[in-house]
Structure 1
Amino acid sequence: MSAASHLQARPADRRQQTLWRIAAVCLGWYAVILASVHTHPGFGVREVALGVHLVSLTLGFGAVLAVDGLGLAVLAGRARVGALLAFSARAERLIWTGFVGLALSGIALRPDFASGWTDANLVAALVAAVNGVLAQALRSGVPDVERLSGWRELPAPLLWRAGAAALVSQAAWWTSILIGALTG
């Protein structure tokens, strides 16, 4: 379904699509864990995977930071809500490409499943991914009339949900980054 047709979907249809996407994220997360347990990369593969991991982090988290930075510009009155929504829709592909790159390259990094740090990192990744699905649903559920309004004109529940999504995103990404840096 295209982004335009997704915007026109009924709320019940959007909820169902969101639930299916969350289920797909959870299945993908589990598949990455299974692949990590059963994959034994050969000599030199870990170094290549680490390079892919860092490029994917730069791509995915860089796009997240850009979206959140534009969100701060909207709050400061320096950008419009419509610009933020359009930019975040375009950045979504970069975010998910980076995220999938992190997950796939992480398989070859031989995570230590006996470590609580690995568990925490996996949970942070799952939280970031599910939050990304929910943030996309939140963005696509903003009525067209609100796309051009200033942020002060948006309904308070929408603002709270958007703020919570940004905070959860930052917390999950930074948790995963810090764990990766500490356990590298």
Structure 2
Amino acid sequence: MSDVRLSATSYVVLGMIALRGPSTPYELKRAVGHSVGYFWHFPHAQLYSEPDRLAGLGLLELAVEATGRRRKTYSLTDAGRTALKDWLSSPTHEHFQMRDIAELKLFFNEAGDPEDDIPALARDQIKQHEERIAVYEGMVERFGDDPHAQPRMITLELGLEMEHAALRFWSALADGDLDRLRAARSARRNRG
């Protein structure tokens, strides 16, 4: 098992099945779309192919309906549970990745017309971050008191912090007031 490489998608599949119990690829896709899909993007087609690969490695058990649509349902094996537990307890050495298309556009905007492009980009980003904040706050209202959701609410709090930070940045850029961000950063550095 040590020579087998598992990807982040592998662990998403193992983790979702550990949380949900036996699942079809379609159920995995829906569950990911309503949870980790908010902050971890990958092609959903992988949720249809990765379970077969993990079953071939002995990390999932496959059951296929004998009749009808012959749906495949995957369950976590002891080896799969161990692989997930080992991954969860191992240190994370990769640095945080933001992968924000708007940030790329901002970086390369010198090639365009900054007077037109940057304010429009900032306004669009403000709208998008405000919408995502509303979605996350709605989730907090719906699931905040659910004891089963509590461990994952911490991730939601991180998402809210990141969205608010991005909103502050794009708002300052739209207002032409990056000095406000620089002053806040300087104040944080002086407190720390």
Structure-2-length-normalised TM-score: 0.34
Name the structure where strand makes up a greater proportion of residues. 2
Larger radius of gyration: 2
More helix by share: 1
TM-score norm. by structure 1 comes to 0.35
